Amino acid sequence: MASHPHTTHEVTESHDPVENVVPMIPVVLPPVGAALMFLLAFIAIYMA
């Protein structure tokens, strides 16, 4: 019988791009929301 060396499987962390963005949501969301509201109000005034 041949002795087989034990293979160790290293656990690699998955690099999910969504997980990299989630911590920035509380910082980015209010300015983007304000810009979107300003843009929509500008369009509404321009169309009136």
The mean pLDDT of 33-41, rounded to a whole number, is 98
- Look-up: residue for tokens 């290293």? 10
The mean pLDDT of 26-41, rounded to a whole number, is 97
DSSP three-state, residue 17: helix
Q: What's the predicted TM-score (pTM) here?
A: 0.56
E strands of 1-48, at which residues? none
Is the pLDDT confidence value at 10 over 70? no
- pLDDT reported for residue 38: 98
Question: Cα 24 from chain centroid?
Answer: 8
